[in-house]
Structures are given as structure tokens and as C-alpha cells.
Amino acid sequence: MKQKIKALVFDAYGTLFDVHSVVTLLEELFPGRGQEVSRVWRTKQLEYTWLLSLMGRYEDFWEVTVRSLAFACRALPLDCPPARQAQLMNAYLRLEAFPEVPDALKRLTAYPLAILSNGSPRMLAGVVESAGLKGTFAQVLSVDEVKIYKPSPRVYALASQRLGLEPGAIGFVSANSWDIQGAGAFGFRTVWLNRGDQPGDELGFPPDITVPQLTDLVPILSP
């Protein structure tokens, strides 16, 4: 019999906060290319976290995001001088929360809530405050504490240790299928927030629950 969920842990980027909300600014700076830049930027950002982890190296997520933006602009190719790069990076501190997130989190407060993210502490503090969610989370945990990126088990272990709970008592919510696979392999109860009705990864750890919107999780987990 599975344990009762005693806390909810959320991924940040792509789950609570929309990484593509920078498209508006990108369109201003690169007319007609905003969606393309955002897609390449995000893809390379994730690739760099995985590569660094495999290489046994660590750079914080701010530096990874800077390097990923530089790659995207060079690959497309687009001119991105330092002032423009700084403007885009500052926008990453103010990413928009997905529309249903504030209401859903308010309705899930029967559980202790936490964030477990690749983001650096500064980046996470910025988006949480900008979205009006300060005080919502009992813990805001960054991989910076363990110096390796998801889906390393060391990252998921950080949440278990800091919350003082066995993995099976933690409900982990992510919109990233690869993150769900890593969390499931570690032993978390997993909730895939599949907003785009995408196919899941085939790595042997399917989600325990799949919902299209975070608010759809509320009636499922209501005590």
C-alpha cells in the first residue's frame, strides 16, 4: 500500500513559472523571432544542465542560462550585445506564473508546499516574489545546495531530507516528463502537469497522476 502524501513539492520552471513568458520581450528585441529564440534558449538551457552533471562539473543556473542565451543568439544568428543580454536575463527574474497557479496553490495549503528547482537561490527568490507567491512555500530548495542538476537522485534527496519525509510521502509535481521520471525513480509520488497533452518519456517510471491543469489536482488531493 502506498504511503499517504504528506507534502507537495513543485518544480519551478515550466511548472509554476512560464519560461516562455519572455517571448514578449524577445519579440521586441528580435521582431518575428521571439518564439524561435525562446525555444532554442530553453532547449540548450536543459541540455547544458545535463551535460554539466555528466561531466562532473557545476555552474549555477544563472550562468547556464546566460550561456544558453548566448548559444541561441549565435546559432540563429542574432545580435545580442551585453546590454540586450542583461535585459533578457533580468526578465528571467520576473517570469510570469501560469494563470491557474496562484489559485491552485491557495487551495492546496492543507499540505506543506515546497519548490525544488534547478534555479539558483537568487533566481527563485525573484520569480516567487514577482509572482506574488512570497510566503506560500515552506521551503524553496535549489540544486545549488548539492551542486548537481536534476534528474540526479541527490537533488530529490535534498527535498526528502529538508522536509523530513520518506520519498513515498512526498507528492512531486512537474510539467517536465524527464523530471517526473527522475522523481519517480527516486521514489516520490509523481504528478505530471501535462498542459500540452504531450507523450511521456519511456524510461519506466510513469506518473502516478496526470492532470492538464494544476487546479485539476485540487479535488484529487483534497483531504
Which positions are annotated as active-site residues?
11
151 prior amide bond cis, ω within 30: yes
Tell how many helices (H) and how many strands (E) occur in the chain. Answer: 9, 6
Measured at the CA of 184, the angle between CA 132 and CA 66, to 5 degrees, comes to 50
CB distance 15 to 176 below 8 Å = yes
CB distance 73 to 79 below 8 Å = yes
Burial level of 65, CB count in 10 A (0-12/13-18/19+)? buried
SS (H, E, C) 26-39: HHHHCCCCHHHHHH
Sole residue written with cell 504528506 = 6
Distance CA 170, CA 204 (A): 19
User: What SS3 state is found at 156?
Assistant: helix
Residue 114, beta-bridge partner list: 9, 139
